[in-house]
Amino acid sequence: MGSIEEKLDNQLLILHASQTGNAMDAAERLGREAERRGCSFVSVLSIDEFQPSELANMKTVIFVVSTTGQGDNPDSMKGFWRFLLQKNLTREWLKGVQYAVFGLGDSSYQKYNFVAKKLDKRLLDLGATPIIEKGLGDDQHPSGYEGALDPWMSALWNTLYRMNHKLLPDGPDIATPDSILIDQPKILVNYHDANEGLPPPSTTTDLEYLEMQIKGARSMAHTKFSGKNKPDCFLKMTKNHQLSKPDGGKDVRHFEFESVSSSIEYEVGDVLEVLPGQSPAAVDAFIRRCDLNPESYITVHRRDKENRVLNHSLFPVKLKPFVELTMDVASASPRRYFFEVMSFFASAEHEKERLQYFASPEGRDDLYQYNQKERRTVLEVLDDFPSVQMPFEWLVQLVPPLQTRAFSISSSHAAHPNQVHLTVSVVSWTTPYKRNRMGLCSSWLASLDPNQRVVIPVWFNKGSLPPPPPSLPLILIGPGTGCAPFRGFVEERALQSKSIPTAPILFFFGCRNEKNDFLYQDFWLSHSENGGVLSEDKGGGFYVAFSRDQSQKVYVQHKMREQSRRIWSLLTQGADVYVAGSANKMPSDVLSAFEEIVTNESGVPRGAALRWIRALEKAGKYHVEAWS
């Protein structure tokens, strides 16, 4: 019994809940730093790999959690959070457990680091003891989330050492020399003969073969893809139409797709996740730069600290499709640890010194300027340090994973059987050093020619906007591409209204200019006339704010205030509110407009109006889907 107690005293459990990989990266860094201070038993796990009922048996747990969207839990944390909210858990349940929480968020969002804050409060409520004050990483900091992580980590090691010398026997500051740890990648790559690989395409259809490749490659990848290994179906683009005017400063597209595999099933408000294609030239350049054989057949295995292989029974896949389908080599920036590992494989002294500086606390801000601010890609970084030759195992472990991109569906399945439509702004920007950058997925979709058959792997998911029943009055606010899901809502209700009575819809749309980016102008206007579902004679209405067509800027919240009485009337009839669009200031500006409307129309004080709207949120009648 003593040895189990002793192991618990020396054990550090680090749980991460990550949506894009940043929280996982920060958690793995905490694990490495603990090992370098002599901690014997460090476990770094995704929070969904941990049994929440075991939490009460732990002694020391560190949580690294990101906040997504409007204060939402990452997908991997949803089950864990539901468990923690059970009413049968007592205030003593976590007595004896000491914990620390580090959050990753963005202070430009209304619910900044909301997940870390509510987790911290819930752990306290259940009797756990905080080791130090929660840390809050901010994407807006000049060094990103690491600006808060570095000092927080230093305080954590100092406090843990004071509390329990056994946990960090080498002290809070004495780190094991990195060279002892650097030869231990968590990945093992085995090479195989061609006849051991997937069955050749001649024995399967092209789609079956592609599906097997995607499933095989993504199930082997170092990063868990949250079940997104086998696509729900494959689509082919049938329409690529530019909605915005070419000289209007923005490129917004309407895409239409049809299924080329299984039938499509979705509801309005759902989200389509797309696996983007990478530039073949960039993939080839990466393979050449890293001196890899694209024709090799490989299996990729994860291994634990004892060097045991964790995933067996894998089909070998070709190295080139493995890179194409799992490793983001030419759009995402590498993490800080990538530079640290590169420094060990640099044969040129000046490159080694620069990489060591970038990986050090002193070089953190310069690395942020060089790397994240410029959105340097893995390929660009490797080209900047030509003497570095990293083993493939390290590349698999450290190159950012190729993530799916999520888009609100802008069609009704009932109106378009076997089709799905998207409204996509093609992302482009200029870095501080005047590099032109393009969003990987949006620019790839924009480049596709509907006359050529390009097969697109996709997944259908529930979004934050539940499909409304036809009898429910709706207040929709969707400026810019935020109108996308509401195009589907209006299509569906127009179809329903032909056979049954339907409730009214108020829709507030906003864009910069009537001439350049009034998206779906004819569609909205046709439904707001002649007794359509957006028409005033049906109790609804369509109101558009052109922010730059006059000297004073006009936004959706100004149009809402103008229709204050109509909004209040629908709210008192039990309307649901749906807000979609940019996550920056828009959701909080819209919320303030609602507060003002409720205050003015009902005569209650502002604080009571806010509580009334919060009650709407709690009752599931105020929905927000926002993206950055």
Q: Which residues are annotated as a binding site for NADP(+)?
A: 481, 547-548, 553-557, 589
CA 266/CA 486 separation, integer angstroms: 15
CA 226/CA 19 separation, integer angstroms: 9
| Other residues' Cβ atoms within 10 Å of the Cβ of residue 597 | 22
| Cβ 214 vs Cβ 230: under 8 Å | yes
Residue ranges in 21-145 assigned as alpha helix (H) = 22-36, 78-84, 114-125
CA 241/CA 254 separation, integer angstroms: 5
Chain centroid, CA 430 distance in Å: 22
CA distances from residue 517 to 246, 299, 409, 544, 590 in whole angstroms, order as listed: 10, 48, 19, 12, 21
β-bridge partners, 582: 627
Instruction: Write phi, then psi, for 504 (nearest 5 degrees).
Output: -75, 160
Chain centroid, CA 572 distance in Å: 36
Token pair for 568: 């209040």
CA 46/CA 493 separation, integer angstroms: 41
DSSP H or E stretch at residue 542: strand 541-546
Instruction: Write phi, then psi, for 309 (nearest 5 degrees).
Output: -75, 135
Q: Which residues are annotated as a binding site for FMN?
A: 18-23, 66-69, 104-113, 139
Q: Which residues are annotated as a binding site for FAD?
A: 375, 405-408, 439-442, 627
Name 2's Cβ contacts closer than 8 Å, sequence gap at least 6: none
Q: Which residues are annotated as a binding site?
A: 18-23, 66-69, 104-113, 139, 375, 405-408, 439-442, 481, 547-548, 553-557, 589, 627
DSSP H or E stretch at residue 560: helix 556-562
